[in-house]
Structure 1
Amino acid sequence: MIRFGYIILFCAAFLGLFSACQKDDAGKPVDTEEDLFIRAVDISYWPVIRDYHLDFYNLNGAKEDFIMILKNSGVNTIRLRLWVNPDEPYASLPQVNSFARTLQSAGFRIWLSLHYSDTWADPGQQQIPSAWLGAEHDALNDSVYNYTTRVVNQIKPDLIQIGNEINNGFLLPEGDIYSHKIQFLQLLNSGIEAVRNANGKTKIIIHYAGLEGIDWFLDQVSDLDFDVIGLSYYPVWHGKDLTLLTEKIKEITINRNHDVMIAETAYPFSLGWNDWTNNIVGLEEQLILPEFPASQQGQRDFILEIRNILSETERGLGFCYWGAELVAFDGPQSENGSSWENQAIFNFDNQALPVLEAFSKNLK
């Protein structure tokens, strides 16, 4: 029996070595290990920026296609926001569907952030889409279900958020978590059921901004059928204590039967600017100092730390960098350009920054 056991172990080791060393038709090694840890960027505004015909450069300074720079750097998932009936084509279902198909063809997973609004949705505003205004509660539930079904059937996302940063609810005032808790849960469940019925493989994310109040919020949604708790974490808004963030993430994974991920984060590589549009982050007091200065190295180190927090947590699913594409696309004197160009992952000359090293599948 002992000798037979050795034979089994030897065969298993040999087969494992063989599978790890497979080669493609050109004789190049192929990595067959499944890439499960999410390394995402939100580049929702790229279809607009693309029309400005800017040149982009990789880490080596060579001109390269924007999407391929991301792919070759190890980004494996793209997050896209979706609005119901926006004034412009941007973030509409036809545009997002078209962009998602391009990204899927390039080998990316698709992560949708459904805002259930015609514009931005976050803790400060959760406006009902104009087409759904005045609807009775049952009709609003049907609208959520039917719209979500249509989105999932068309795009077939790998991950989907039912709402964006829904700390206070969504589809307000009907879906206010404080004054209309039952209605809020029913609306949320309508979106969840639509995803489950349309595509059982799509992971469902409930998205919360920051850490304050997270335990109470998760208690309210604990009976719902979702897979992932997604957190936004920006030091400028959500505190500068990464130890607290680490402890809270681990606490959530222990006490809740869900995976956890950072659904949105970003950090500046500079406090300077590249257009005349006021930037959201521009002061040292908004940073985590001295550990993470507003420098190329500081940006890289911050995202590496975020990645490490998730990768070292048993049910940490991954992270997403928000606004990766938001360079000063409209020129250096634009007052209607980017408020985020010092937090993009390309410098003021549109060259990829070292932060992209944090997206590599196999960190060195």
Structure 2
Amino acid sequence: MKKATWLSALVLLFLNVSCSKNNGSAPAQTTTTATYKSPVVASTFAKGADISWITQMEASNYKFYDKTGKQQDLFALMKSIGMNSIRLRAWVNPTGGWCNTADLVAKAVRAKNAGMKILIDFHYSDTWADPGDQNKPAAWASLAFPDLVTALHDYTVHVMDTLQTNGITPDWVQIGNETSNGMLWDDGKASTNMANFAALVLSGYNAVKSVSSTTKVIVHLANGYDNTTYQWLFDGLKANGAKWDIIGMSLYPTTANYGTLDAQCLTNINAMVARYSTPVMIVEVGMEADQPQTTRDFLTDIITKVNGVANGQGLGVFYWEPEAYNWLSYGLGAFDTTGKPTAALDAFAN
């Protein structure tokens, strides 16, 4: 996900007064919810969310409520909404400690206790990694490339072992986050050295499998509608001996273009399945928090499309940080300004 500050500038045209709102700034919701039917999906389909900000938000005294206004633990609330999976990011040595190994394990334990499947998202950085930022952890910055490959392997094993010691075996693990042009730049930049990037992916894959042979490994790119980038990147990985189990995608449309991008994303999913015999998972989605009905329509559409991929090769959809309300000016969450889930998340209902 792009981590730059998001400013929600759209103003709602329709206001529906609700007794559950204690101020006038919460996103309005229309009365269509009574007739809405959430998509029916396979029992194995992952309906999830990345809620990695949760411990940091709780430390800032944020609280979360169900639609009736009852305070709930966020993990339990996600489960009650209809989600069955939680995604959590891992940073190597971040400033402030958020998303380091200890923080990751604490959240993973809570997810397990809530009865959720778990996806671990290794950024292999001390901070955000995305298509424009793939910076090495400070501790790895001066390593020669063979040592960098070893460092990635050993760190991955350490985190996996620490999770297992705490009773956690992740269902899925990402080797890198939005690695549309590789990771651990400049050594692992795909456009300049695809072989190096493939070696890093293979190192991470082998590390995960050495601890848990059942955990599925994901390689994740941005812009799930962009078939050109996906084919270039995965052709390069395959030609250079990398391994993966699942192709992960991000998809961040707007209210104006989600229909077009959803259709293009489905075309790309089918192309990836056919070309690489690999299932696909949408590991990040998001849309404007102040347009909950339209966001729900987008989620309904993309969940239905992914679930409908032939032979069960569409594995799931994860919302990125839906709980982020009044937080760092992030405008693509799915909670209102009073800490309650909006109608957008009805798309995940059972």
Structure 1 counterpart of 2:100, which letter? S
Residue 219 of structure 2 is matched in structure 1 by: 206
Contact 1:163 1:170 in 2 (8 A): yes
Aligned to 2:315: 317
Q: Distance between the aligned counterparts of 1:109 and 1:82, measured in 2?
A: 16
Give 1:167 shift: 0.9
Residue aligning to 1:247: 267
Aligned residue type for 1:70: M
Q: Deviations over 1:66-114 (max 9, x none)?
A: 2221111111111111111111110101111111112111111111110
Aligned to 1:114: 122
Residue 232 of structure 2 aligns with which residue? 216
The corresponding residue for 2:329 is 339
Could you tell me which of 288, 297, 322 is aligned with 1:268?
A: 288
Identity %: 31
Select the residue among 192, 204, 213 that pairs with 1:191. Answer: 204
Q: Are positions 1:100 and 2:118 aligned together?
A: no
Shift of 1:343: 2.3
- Equivalent of residue 79 in structure 1, options 87, 105, 117: 87
Q: Does the CA contact (< 8 Å) of 1:59 and 1:354 recur in 2? A: no
Structure 2 counterpart SS, 1:123: coil
Q: Is 1:226 matched with 2:258? A: no
Q: Trace 1:1-364 onto structure 2 (pairs within 5 A).
A: 35-155=43-163, 156-210=169-223, 211-212=225-226, 213-222=229-238, 223-235=241-253, 240=258, 241=260, 242-270=262-290, 294=291, 296-314=292-310, 315-328=313-326, 337-340=327-330, 342-361=331-350
Q: State the partner residue of 2:18.
A: none
SS of residue matched to 1:176: coil
CA-based RMSD = 2.0
Contact map agreement 1:269 1:298 (CA 8 A) in 2: no
Relative to the length of structure 1, the TM-score reads 0.77
Q: Distance in 2 between the 1:56 and 1:97 partners?
A: 21
| Consecutive unaligned residues in structure 1, runs of 5 or more | 1-32, 271-293, 329-336
Corresponding position of 1:9? none
| Larger relative contact order (CA 8 Å, sep ≥ 6) | 2
Deviations 1:188-240 (A, max 9, x none): 1111110111100111000011133111111112243211100111125xx74
Kindly provide the CA deviation profile for residues 259-297 of structure 1, in whole angstroms up to 9, marking residues without a partner as x: 101111101131xxxxxxxxxxxxxxxxxxxxxxx3x21
CA distance in structure 1 between the partners assigned to 2:273 and 2:345 by the alignment: 27
List structure 1 segments (4+ residues) > 6 angstroms apart after TM superposition.
none
Check the 8 A contact 1:55/1:63 in 2, yes or no: yes
Q: Which moved more, 1:211-220 or 1:87-96?
A: 211-220
Structure 2: how far apart are the matches of 1:35 and 1:246? 21
Aligned counterparts of 2:323 and 2:63: Cα–Cα separation in 1: 13
Aligned partner of 1:256: which letter?
A: Y
**What is the DSSP-based 3-state SS (H/G/I as helix, E as strand, rest coil) of the residue aligned with 1:235?**
coil
Amino acid corresponding to residue 230 of structure 2 in structure 1:
I
**Contact 1:269 1:297 (C-alpha < 8 Å) held by counterparts:** no
Q: TM-score if structure 2 supplies the norm length?
A: 0.80
CA distance in 2, matches of 1:224, 1:187: 8
The aligned residue for residue 8 of structure 2 is none
